[in-house]
Structure formats: C-alpha cells, structure tokens
Amino acid sequence: MLRATLRPLVLALSAASTVLGAQSSKPRTNVGRPTEKSSVATPATAGFSAERLARIDRFMQSYVDDDKVAGAVGLVLRNGRVAYEHAVGWSDKEAGRRMTTDAIFRIASQSKAITSVAIMSLVEEGKIAPTDPVSRFIPAYAKTTVAVRSDTGVAIVPAKRAITIRDLLTHTSGISYGTDGSVARLYEAKGLGPAAGFGWYTADKDEPVCTTMERLASLPFVAQPGEAWVYGYSTDILGCVVEKVSGMALDAFIAERISKPLGMVDTYFFLPTDKRDRLSAVYASSADGSSIARAADGARGQGQYIDGPRRSFAGGAGLVSTARDYARFLQMLLNGGELDGVRLLAPKTVQLMTTNMVGSLYANAAGTEGVGFGLGFETVDRFGANGLSSQGTFSWGGAYGSNYRVDPKEKLVIVFMVQQIPNRTDLAAKFPTLVYQALTGIPSF
C-alpha cells in the first residue's frame, strides 16, 4: 500500500468565535482557553516570522478561491500558547455560513488517539495489560481466522495465535476495514466493509458498538496477528474493550475521563442538536481534484452525526470535535499526560504510546523509511521521514481530510481541519510544511 493511501484520506480505510476571512495573519485573541498557558502569543514571542505566517493565510485562501476546498481551520500551539489560528472559506456554502475557528468537524480516525488514551488509562489502573488476549474481554475473539491468498484462490485458515490488546493498539492485529477483495463480500453480508460507507462508518447502526465488533469476530481477517501493519477496525474493538472493562458506554467513559476533565466542550460521538449549525458540511473532490461539490447525505457523505440512532460509539472513527478541543487533547500529550492541573496519563505511558513499537512493519506498509507506529500514533524515527517534523514527532489524521502533528522537540501542536471526502487536494498535507517554514526561532515564554 502506498504511503499516500495511508494518510490522510484512507486513514479511514480516517459563538465565542468571530467570522474570519483570509485577510489577517495575526493570531486571534478570542480563542478561549486552548491550553494551560491560555494566552495568545505574538509571532515573535512564539518564535515565528509574522511575514512567513502570512503565507499560510494566502495559501489556505487560494484553495478556497480555486474551489478546491469549501473551507478550513488551522491552529498552531507553541509551548502551550496559540501562535496561529485561522479560518477560511465556508462551513456551509449552500447555507451561506462562513467558516469560523469554533466550527465542529467530523474527525474520523482522529478518534483513535482518544480511544487509545482511554485504553491506556485502564492499563495504568491494572485493569488491562497490553499482552492480554482480546478474548479475555470479548470471548468471540477466542478463535479467529485469516483469509490467505494462493494461486488457487482464497483459503480461510485459523489464526496462529490470539490477538492481544497491543496488537489492536499498533494495528498489527491483521484486521482491515473489510474492503479488501479477498473478504469484501463476506463483510458486506454482515453490514461491515463495503456496507459501512468506506468501511469504517457505523454512525447509522442501531446497535451498540460491541454487538458490531462481536459480529466482526466471526469474519476472516487479512493477516496473521503480529505479522503486518493493517489499518482497520482494531480501535473500534478497543472501544468495546473499554465498555466491557469499565461497565460504561464509550461515550460516557470518554466524557467523564477525557473530554470533560480537559475542557473539551465540543467533542462528542453525536452532536447535540443545539450545536447543529456549527457542524461543517462535507464536500467531495472531483475526480481530478480541481473542484468540489457538496457530498451526499449518508455514510459516504454528511453522515448521521446529528440525526442518527445515537447508539454506535465507534472508537476508531466516530467523534466530532473542534480544532481548539483537539489541540487541548494534544497539548495534554505533549505535556506528558497533564493539562491545567489534570493528569490523565503518566509521562512514561505517553512516551510508550509515541514510540515506534512495530519495527519496520509500518514503514513497509507506508512505503517510507524512518517512520514507525506506536500505541495509536505514527512516529517519526528520523528527521526527514515526514517532511520537516523532528525526530520524535507523532501524528495521524482522519478520512475527512483533517490531520494533526505533535513535535515535542519544537514544542509544537499543529491541527488542520477540513471536511472533504474523497479529498484529492494536497492542502492538508502541505499545511505542516507551511507552519515549519514560518518557525524561525525559539519561544520566549
């Protein structure tokens, strides 16, 4: 699989605000309290060039002007302070609603990091061990199978060993999204794979996520546990594990243990109806990426994040959030598990999560040397492997085109939000480079 297919698009296979245009390159002063050091920094004190930051505004606006995206939000924190925040274009072109910095986005596979933190909080309490077999919590996974291709077709064989919690966290369980040719028909028959949008979508399911994940266990996977990096339902299974261990629905657990303590006031699986006007519309790139059209309703477009059954809490791809909320979550990780006096994880746990745990398996899948995968994150193992990111950077993104990056060496949190599927533009991929090119010094705070 090519690296481009891994991020960001098929990562899925991922009123306090003023209305902003593209004219200002200065950090905005109405951003609330995104971090423990809540104030907004000037470019100079944050170690950025104001002139070079202005390039980002122009760059983002050009994609709106060329009808390649409807709108987007970019947010950069340095050492816990807002160094850059900007919104361009439209949250909903047809409704005439401008994009704002507090717009709410479907974050798809960016949900995985939050669910991974939920799991690791239970690991810290001794309720789960990374080496535990998944079947300890979901008995349906006691005996799994694998679809193996051969010259004579596809054979279904027993898994060589049990799938563990660590396998799920690192995406080495062998579990895909069921869209692979060898298994797609079987998955579709059980409401997964091609029957679930692009494979990962469950917001329209009128059943708990554990019911769906237990049904998944009856289907063949596409690689033996531990033998390959395969992107798929692994984190959704982890969401079910959280429910089984905690005795709480995943949405309640994340609200109680992560989003509320961190002050993430706009992060949900299903959006409250009084916030529906802040949810950005989804658009779709044309085949050549030169234009956009409003995406259709349903699993491959707008989704049922407001009007759906509100029963399936998909830990792998189900959350909606804002750039500000997600930046708070990432700042907690950059701080070693703590934000505003609230500690979610120990520093060593964060270090473990953001260290390559799969050797060359992810690099082989991505087709790029120098990158790895930890417990929920892509990692940069050498400078140059992922653009200008420092060694030690961790990142990921979502199917609707959003992505994030945390660079501990530079004390940077970079969040880019857009709503486009399929997304055939390079705006999100280039955004971090535009941030790094404006980085010219060290912060003075």
Q: Which residues are catalytic?
A: 109, 112, 231
Q: Are 102 and 34 in contact (CB under 8 A)?
A: no
- Evaluated on CA atoms 38, 338, 229, 146, the torsion sign reads negative
Place of tokens 């530079």: 410
Distance CA 149, CA 163 (A): 21
Q: Are 331 and 408 in contact (CB under 8 A)?
A: no
Count of CA atoms in the C-beta half-sphere (13 A) of 12: 31
Distance CA 89, CA 78 (A): 25
- Evaluated on CA atoms 235, 115, 254, 298, the torsion sign reads negative
What is the b/e burial string over 106-128, where b = at least 16 CB atoms within 10 angstroms of the residue's CB? bbbbbbbbbbbbbbbbbbeeeeb
Relative to beta strand 394-397, strand 403-407 is: antiparallel
Query: What are the φ/ψ torsions at residue 258 (nearest 5 degrees)?
Result: -130, -65
Distance CA 197, CA 223 (A): 22
Place of tokens 């995985």: 112
What is the b/e burial string over 342-356, where b = at least 16 CB atoms within 10 angstroms of the residue's CB? eebbeeebbebbbbb
Q: Are 69 and 420 in contact (CB under 8 A)?
A: yes
Q: What is the DSSP string of 140-165?
A: GGSS-EEEEEETTEEEEEE-SS--BH
**Helix axis angle, 209-216 to 234-246, nearest 10°:** 130
Residue type, 265: V
How far, in whole angstroms, is CA 241 from its chain's centroid? 19
Q: Is there a cis peptide before residue 139, judged by omega within 30 degrees of 0?
A: no
User: Which strands, in side-by-side order, build the sheet including 81-92?
Assistant: 97-98, 81-92, 71-78, 412-417, 403-407, 394-397, 378-380, 371-373
How far, in whole angstroms, is CA 347 from its chain's centroid? 21
